[in-house]
Structure 1
Amino acid sequence: MNVNFTKHVNEGYQLAEERAARYFTSLYNQVRNKSYVPALTEDIQIWKRKHVRGYSGVSFFSRGKKKPDTRDYYRYIQWLNYTGKLDDYLDRSVSYIYLRDLGKTLDSPVTQNRIQRTVADLNKHLLKSTNTNKGESPEFMNLAGVYRWAQKEGTEAAVIWLFKKLRSVASHIPEGMSAEHAQRKLIKIILGVVLHVMDELGDAASPGERSRRLDEAIRLGYSYGLTYPFIDDLLDSQILTLQEKAQYSDLIRSALLSGAVPELGVWTGENVKLIHYIHSELTEAFEYIKQHQSPDTQQTFFEQSYVFFHAQDIDRVKALTQPDYTNEELYIPVILKSSSSRLIARSVISAPEDAGFEERTFFFGIYNQLADDFADMEQDLKDGAVTPYTYYLQYHEQRPDLINPFELYWAVVANLIRSVYDSNAKVREVILDRVINGLKRFKERAGAEKYNKTMGMFAAGFPELNQLIQKMVRKADDVDFFDKLLRDRMVEHLKNDAREQEDFHTTFKSARTLINSELKFVKPQGITAMKEQLIDAANYSLEGDGKRVRPILTWVMGVYEYGLESEAIIPLLRSLEYMHTASLIFDDLPSQDNASTRRGRETLHQVHNSATAELTGLYLIQRAIGEQASLTRFKAETVLALIRYSSQKAEDMCMGQAMDLDSKGKNLTLEQLNMVCFYKTGVAFEACLVMPAMLAEASEAEVIALRKFAYHMGIAFQIKDDLLDVEGDTDVLGKPVGKDVANNNSNFVSILGTEGASKEMWEHYCLATEALQAIPRNIPFLKHLMNYVVNRER
């Protein structure tokens, strides 16, 4: 361990602690002598002129249309625009982000100009979104929307990397932790770091420099944000034993004090796999941040990180059963952790020193922390967590020396408005908007009775001021914030997405089980030995570990979306899998791709011979046609049209395979490759979507939209296959990797490279997702199927 490094980090903590103690003493004195009350009362009186209106002050429009529930995201945005409130709403929201996250003052012309431009861009985007979106989540909450932003900024590689990382994190969040809130906080940190970089870049940066810096910001934001789910939330949860928590905390502390991540060491128990994953991921993140720190900011970063962690750790080990914590012990760690968390977001990008930012951020942090602790008070009390509020609730009757945290909160508000921001009118407006909004939200969540009881206890020390505050809570309007709307929407989106994903996997599994049970051919008695051999060969190919994506897609669309009877479309499901399996048998032949394994077992021609394989493929095709002709519960003309369509798609697939074979050893263009893989792969997906739509007699417009979706899905599927052929695992895939290279085949990776192929795959992912907008029904299964296509490992 570097002794000097450790010494500097410890000294940094001591200096921060001394500063926090001075700040606390100042706030304590203001609470004790009530010196903040006159100034705050005056500020609220000024503020209320804009927010408490008589009848004459209410616009004609706002009288004519009732305010919708903010949980109805698009209707709420439309209402804000309809009533002329949208610009003010966005202005205070963006201004608050500049205050809280970027540490800006609002009296700077440069800052005001940036705020106004951001508001104008948001306004344009939101109004366009409300007009085009059919109630789905906002674009920035879905992968396609984020990737489209990445394309504009030239950060596709970083965003593809981030998608993979976030998916991995989500899969490793253990039960007992809130997956939605862990992911939300991680995403919030990433956005915060990106905002800092965008602010640092300004308007002068070249496109190349902007792209490079934003790429770095995304990776740095993830690397820093990872500490929230896998350090803070994990240590706050009950996942680890007390011994594990102590061992894990020592590990983190050692890394921050030495500047190097120690080896994990011996770890036993049921959390071994989780800890090994976290240690590996945090080590990678730690090293990435270190490598991207400039020499003159690295020490600052580690000092601030240690302040944050150590202050959190001090708070974490407090017990609500301990009755003798001093006010200093309760509040100084809060000041330290709340200020350092945002200071890190700036130091992690090696931003130049800014004394004004650091000063404002230091004083601002506790304001947010006390507001958050107030909102989370009930849950914290249930969890036995020590916060200024829970501790006051527990001991204020026995401990008259305890500071009322609600009163301290108002002292912080007054200090920010008057001392930190010099009574700037816009700062007063934004901060008091936020304060009253927080109380309104708490009242709505807790109910009036509980709210009044809480206020009766916490606000007893300043009755006149409280009377004014409560009047504002009852009567003031226009205090909502966009980031709160997004927070609520994101949490709901993540919960809903998790439900849909679980439904997708459940449906996929049950449909696969159903289809597998229907595929095997039964050998009638008295058949010839040769036919028996043919059936055995067909069953051998069908019994492999196939994904069954195509018939599953048909079953879901037919039964779930079009209301067809499951029994009625079983023949169609068989026909699709028979056709697909036949195509694989032909594809694997020595005369074509010469594959040795398929679906986790030897290919058919390896078990028998090429002639048997060819005949089995033909046999399966004929049986597929017979199955389609068995769709007797539908109109005869509809079934005939379906068979004609199916034969045309089979022709297309043959043409695609012929084109693929003819391309061996040739350098195809991207356009040619798209055509080959669509005919090879995409037409089968199209058939799976279009055939149940035909049976349900869906409109032509819907069929066109389904075809477009299938086109892009098919290409994305093939690109993923090409990537897996380079990066995949033979044991997982069930077939050998490197097949295309061995066969001298052109594919997306050979033409575009791994990174280029990934970008092309995500482009088709976006186009497929956008095609869904034209389908006059919301089909979550297709959305999650696209996620499966680009994220699968086999």
Structure 2
Amino acid sequence: MKEVVVMKENHSSYQSAEIRANRYFKKLREETIEKHFIPVLTADMSEWKVNHINFRLHKGAKKDPSIGYRPYLQWLDYTGKLDSYLRRSVAYLYMRDLGKAIDTDKAEKEIDQTAQRLKKHVANPSNEKADSLSKASLYRWGEKEGIELSVIWLFAKLKRVSEHIPDELDAEHAQRKLIKIIAGVLLHAYDEMGEDIQGDERAAKLDEAIRLGYAYGLTYPFVDDLLDSSYLTSEEKEQYSAMIRTALLTREIPPLGDWAENKKKLIAYIHAELSEAFAYIKSHQTPEALNTFFSESYVFFHAQELDRNKDMNELIYTNEELYVPVILKSASSRLIIRSVIGAQEDKGFDDRTFYYGIYNQLADDFTDLFDDLQAGAVTPYTYYWTHHKERPDLVNPFELYFGVIANLIHDVYSDSELAREVILDRAINGLKRNKLRFGPNRYKEVMAVFAAGMPEFMRIIQRFVKKAEDVDFFDKLLRDHMIDHLREDRQGRDAFTVLASELRDEMHSFLPIEEAIIGELPEERTLHEAANYSLMADGKRIRPVVAWMMGMELGLKKQEMIPVLKSLEYMHTASLIFDDLPSQDNAAARRGQPALHIAYNSAIAELTGIFLIQKATLEQASIQAFSPQAVLSLIQYSAKAAMDMCRGQVLDLEEKTGEMSLEELNTMCFYKTGIGFEASLIMPAILAEADEQEKLALKRFAQHAGIAFQIRDDLLDAEGDEETLGKTAGQDEKNERSTFVTVLGFDGARKQMWHHYCEAIETLPQIKCNTSFLKHLLDYIINRSR
């Protein structure tokens, strides 16, 4: 009975919203047909152009956002344009994301204050090399707000989502949408809290906003985009849509059902993730907010389905069928964000959001015209483009767009000068960007279709499109930067993974110790076999791979680097052999096979370790391509590094659980682990004769990267399994050793790992050569499963 009542309520909500949307569309259609917007906007444009059109023959310096994120902001600041740029950008966010009225003195004061706070951040020289979208910057924000664990949770979730986005979806845009929704929910949470709420209460609200934002945002890649893509067949889309509809109508997640074998794993992951998100939203809202959330979600989904199921070849769709779903989905998508955090009812917000949504949607659909045509998607633009000759009754969406603009400026925002400034800036900026996106010929072709009915007005508009200056917005700059960032990050990560794999495979050709070097005596053959048994197991080869990459960035040749790479792996393998001995960690397995003292015996293991250390020194002494002084410095550095590693192991052996302070633990793990990373960076730097400042920066990076690596090791030892790790799990607890987990607990260890990740990332700008591989190395370190 309860399910029937909920279903009726949702259907009733859609019908009410549809009636309201029909009334709104009727008003817009009348305004458009009568062209009432033309004299109104012509007058608006006449006032607007004073600040945006420069008709002088000799104009001042001009730059656009294509020069890059930071350089463009610096140029705006230098030319005195940053204040107005940020002011209109913040005002736009107030209108679009927060649904606020901006036609009051209080609102304008808030906008100015927010813009000034933003200016302090973006124009601060100390932030010049910082990337506000990087994991390090986001984690630092989490530290400041006391929500580090929430940010760590979000990083893990976003990583899993990115791994499960099918090739048929645009991965970067899918991630961007998800991040944008989370940011939107956070904006509303900040707005609801104000400055009065601090401490634990503030942290709890921000944690909830992050999780609610993720829960709702997940529907964009895994409902919206998935149903729009070609990944699912028509029958599978019907099955999937039925699941979503059932969940919204009954407020319960239906069973997974049967799926094709090649899609079962992905659909199972999505089903589990959406189920978890669904349950979280339900458990963190009041009954009233939950009713609003489900009502608006159903309106959004049903409107999307109506559009998604249209066929471009059908000539029967009425104007109402084309536009009403657009009004509904564009409004409800924003209404959901406010409902998801359980914000107090605000009729002004509801009204402004309802009337505003179609403005952005029509602008987006115009931009996506040719992509949508290729995909066969029916939008007001694609349908008009395809059928306007056969259907003279069709409302021109481009004309309607300007009708919406006039309505917003004069009716919704009460002739606000700031609203006019922002909305007209946005419209002209959108056309300028589309002209660039389409290319001049295609843009002209598009205008011949959509602007044919208002030639005089379009001459004015196109003049402004050509002449207008300073109409860019910060959110567009951020969006472009985010897409570039996500794309470059993925490409860089993939390139790092491929190169590391290739280098690791290549090392297998020169790492084995040749028997001829040792001799023919049986005992010597045993030593040779034992050394290769440990060397050729399934090792990660991180240190020599990093040294190889570092050497390439410093201009060293591959062949010249081989002795260094061999020595690093020989030293590291020797340290593992000693580490596993019964007198130390007493580990039974290493690199996916029995530890050397198990496969042979302790005496052979000890001798093999000594043999590999000496072999490493011999390799270093054989270097020919560099100056004798550089080679001598390298050998001296390597000997000291080996001594420091021994000190770290002694500290480890002598300490028991809980007896170490965090400072002592950092020192111990740097000597045990960090020094190996340092050597992989410093040894190539010594041979390349890098200056001391460069080497100092590399050492700082290695110190923090090494500690992060050890913390991840400690977490894996406590949480992992032997099959995945390739070694015995739980050894630290068994041996009563102090680790980051025993000293800080799981949560504290994770926070320390990310803290050292940030410290390492923040040293990269001080290193002169290309350091992108070091960033991806850090990402590997904290995300690895073995």
Same fold (TM over 0.5): yes
Tell me, in whole angstroms, the C-alpha distance in 2 between the residues paired with 1:435 and 1:69.
17
Q: Which residue of 2 aligns with 1:67?
A: 63
CA contact (8 A) 2:121 2:127 kept: no
The secondary structure found in structure 2 opposite 1:205 is coil
- Deviations for 1:514-572, whole angstroms, at most 9, x for unmatched residues? 112211122129511111111111111112111000011111111x2112121111111
**1:193 Cα deviation (Å)?**
0.5
Tell me, in whole angstroms, the C-alpha distance in 1 between the residues paired with 2:214 and 2:229.
21
Q: Residues 147 and 452 (structure 1 numbering): CA distance in 2 closer, same or farther, change over 3 Å?
A: same
The secondary structure found in structure 2 opposite 1:546 is coil
Tell me, in whole angstroms, the C-alpha distance in 1 between the residues paired with 2:506 and 2:30.
72
Given the alignment of the two structures, is residue 77 of structure 1 paired with residue 73 of structure 2, yes or no?
A: yes
Q: Which residue of 1 aligns with 2:33?
A: 32
CA contact (8 A) 2:519 2:525 kept: no
Tell me, in whole angstroms, the C-alpha distance in 2 between the residues paired with 1:470 and 1:615.
81
Tell me, in whole angstroms, the C-alpha distance in 2 between the residues paired with 1:671 and 1:370.
58
Q: Which residue of 2 aligns with 1:127?
A: 123
Q: Which residue of 2 aligns with 1:528?
A: 521
Tell me, in whole angstroms, the C-alpha distance in 2 between the residues paired with 1:33 and 1:598.
79
The secondary structure found in structure 1 opposite 2:66 is coil
**1:578 Cα deviation (Å)?**
0.8
Q: Which residue of 1 aligns with 2:19?
A: 18
CA contact (8 A) 1:297 1:347 kept: yes
Given the alignment of the two structures, is residue 416 of structure 1 paired with residue 408 of structure 2, yes or no?
A: yes
**1:114 Cα deviation (Å)?**
2.5
Given the alignment of the two structures, is residue 342 of structure 1 paired with residue 343 of structure 2, yes or no?
A: no
Tell me, in whole angstroms, the C-alpha distance in 2 between the residues paired with 1:665 and 1:147.
29
- Of 539, 544, 548, the residue aligned with 2:541 is 548
**1:210 Cα deviation (Å)?**
1.5
- Mapping of residues 247-266 of structure 1, within 5 Å: 247-266=239-258
CA contact (8 A) 1:193 1:345 kept: yes
Tell me, in whole angstroms, the C-alpha distance in 2 between the residues paired with 1:736 and 1:358.
58
- Of 461, 468, 474, the residue aligned with 2:453 is 461
Q: Which residue of 1 aligns with 2:501?
A: 509
Tell me, in whole angstroms, the C-alpha distance in 2 between the residues paired with 1:665 and 1:399.
79
- Give 2:277's aligned amino acid: A
Q: Which residue of 2 aligns with 1:47?
A: 48
- Of 349, 358, 365, the residue aligned with 1:366 is 358
Tell me, in whole angstroms, the C-alpha distance in 2 between the residues paired with 1:520 and 1:438.
61
Q: TM-score, normalised by structure 2?
A: 0.98
**1:50 Cα deviation (Å)?**
2.1
CA contact (8 A) 2:103 2:414 kept: no
Greater shift in the superposed pair: 32-41 or 439-448: 32-41
- Give 2:547's aligned amino acid: T
- Of 487, 490, 508, the residue aligned with 2:479 is 487
- Give 1:49's aligned amino acid: V
CA contact (8 A) 1:304 1:344 kept: yes
CA contact (8 A) 1:24 1:331 kept: yes
Q: Which residue of 2 aligns with 1:659?
A: 651
- Give 2:41's aligned amino acid: L
CA contact (8 A) 2:585 2:735 kept: yes
**1:52 Cα deviation (Å)?**
2.0
- Give 1:133's aligned amino acid: E
The secondary structure found in structure 2 opposite 1:140 is coil
**1:30 Cα deviation (Å)?**
1.2
- Deviations for 1:155-192, whole angstroms, at most 9, x for unmatched residues? 11111011111111111111121111111111111100
- Mapping of residues 315-354 of structure 1, within 5 Å: 315-354=307-346
CA contact (8 A) 1:189 1:221 kept: yes
Q: Which residue of 2 aligns with 1:765?
A: 757
Given the alignment of the two structures, is residue 148 of structure 1 paired with residue 140 of structure 2, yes or no?
A: yes
- Give 2:524's aligned amino acid: K
CA contact (8 A) 1:71 1:488 kept: no
Q: Residues 381 and 287 (structure 1 numbering): CA distance in 2 closer, same or farther, change over 3 Å?
A: same
Given the alignment of the two structures, is residue 215 of structure 1 paired with residue 207 of structure 2, yes or no?
A: yes
Tell me, in whole angstroms, the C-alpha distance in 1 between the residues paired with 2:214 and 2:67.
28
Tell me, in whole angstroms, the C-alpha distance in 2 between the residues paired with 1:351 and 1:68.
38
Greater shift in the superposed pair: 371-380 or 441-450: 441-450
- Mapping of residues 318-717 of structure 1, within 5 Å: 318-524=310-516, 527-558=520-551, 560-717=552-709
- Of 159, 168, 173, the residue aligned with 2:160 is 168
CA contact (8 A) 1:71 1:489 kept: no
CA contact (8 A) 1:579 1:620 kept: yes
Q: How many residues align?
A: 784
**1:739 Cα deviation (Å)?**
1.4
CA contact (8 A) 2:174 2:221 kept: yes
CA contact (8 A) 2:553 2:770 kept: no
CA contact (8 A) 2:657 2:743 kept: no
Given the alignment of the two structures, is residue 206 of structure 1 paired with residue 198 of structure 2, yes or no?
A: yes
Given the alignment of the two structures, is residue 112 of structure 1 paired with residue 108 of structure 2, yes or no?
A: yes
The secondary structure found in structure 1 opposite 2:307 is helix
**1:128 Cα deviation (Å)?**
1.9
Tell me, in whole angstroms, the C-alpha distance in 1 between the residues paired with 2:342 and 2:439.
45
Tell me, in whole angstroms, the C-alpha distance in 2 between the residues paired with 1:153 and 1:432.
37
Q: Which residue of 1 aligns with 2:87?
A: 91
The secondary structure found in structure 1 opposite 2:762 is helix
Tell me, in whole angstroms, the C-alpha distance in 1 between the residues paired with 2:639 and 2:22.
80
Gaps of 5+ in 1: none
Q: Residues 561 and 288 (structure 1 numbering): CA distance in 2 closer, same or farther, change over 3 Å?
A: same
The secondary structure found in structure 2 opposite 1:34 is coil
Tell me, in whole angstroms, the C-alpha distance in 2 between the residues paired with 1:703 and 1:159.
32
**1:11 Cα deviation (Å)?**
1.1
**1:54 Cα deviation (Å)?**
4.3
**1:730 Cα deviation (Å)?**
2.0
CA contact (8 A) 2:657 2:742 kept: no
**1:69 Cα deviation (Å)?**
4.8
- Deviations for 1:582-606, whole angstroms, at most 9, x for unmatched residues? 1111111111111111111111111
Q: Residues 99 and 331 (structure 1 numbering): CA distance in 2 closer, same or farther, change over 3 Å?
A: same
Q: Residues 492 and 619 (structure 1 numbering): CA distance in 2 closer, same or farther, change over 3 Å?
A: same
- Deviations for 1:403-429, whole angstroms, at most 9, x for unmatched residues? 000011111111111111111111111
Greater shift in the superposed pair: 452-461 or 622-631: 452-461
Q: TM-score, normalised by structure 1?
A: 0.97
Tell me, in whole angstroms, the C-alpha distance in 1 between the residues paired with 2:635 and 2:50.
73
Stretches of 4+ moved more than 3 A in 1? Answer: 53-56, 131-134
Q: Which residue of 2 aligns with 1:9?
A: 10
The secondary structure found in structure 2 opposite 1:2 is helix
Q: Residues 272 and 752 (structure 1 numbering): CA distance in 2 closer, same or farther, change over 3 Å?
A: same
Tell me, in whole angstroms, the C-alpha distance in 2 between the residues paired with 1:728 and 1:205.
39
Tell me, in whole angstroms, the C-alpha distance in 1 between the residues paired with 2:694 and 2:519.
48
- Give 2:4's aligned amino acid: V
Greater shift in the superposed pair: 14-23 or 104-113: 104-113
- Give 1:16's aligned amino acid: A
**1:726 Cα deviation (Å)?**
1.7
Q: Percent identity among equivalent residues?
A: 55
Tell me, in whole angstroms, the C-alpha distance in 1 between the residues paired with 2:241 and 2:67.
39
Tell me, in whole angstroms, the C-alpha distance in 2 between the residues paired with 1:53 and 1:536.
79
**1:334 Cα deviation (Å)?**
0.4
Tell me, in whole angstroms, the C-alpha distance in 2 between the residues paired with 1:132 and 1:256.
44
